[in-house]
Amino acid sequence: MNDLWIVRFVRKDGKPDEEYFYHSQSEAEYHRDLFQNDDSGLYERIEIINDADL
């Protein structure tokens, strides 16, 4: 299956959300997890979305 995984950083400052695209769930989770301890206050939340869910 050619799933596409999206990591979406939902910003608090009104700027456009940041989206990054991956071919595997593990790659997407790895990217999200890099920000697990982010204390910048820049993001409201970080989402992982599978294109099959869209």
Which residue type is seen at 44?
A: E
Q: What is the pLDDT along the chain (54 residues), one digit of tens a residue?
A: 578 999 999 999 999 999 999 999 999 999 999 999 999 999 999 999 998 766
Q: What is the pLDDT of residue 53?
A: 66
Q: What is the pLDDT of residue 52?
A: 79
Q: What is the β-pairing status of strands 18-22 and 5-11?
A: antiparallel
Phi then psi for residue 19, to 5 deg, are -125, 135
Q: What is the pLDDT of residue 1?
A: 57
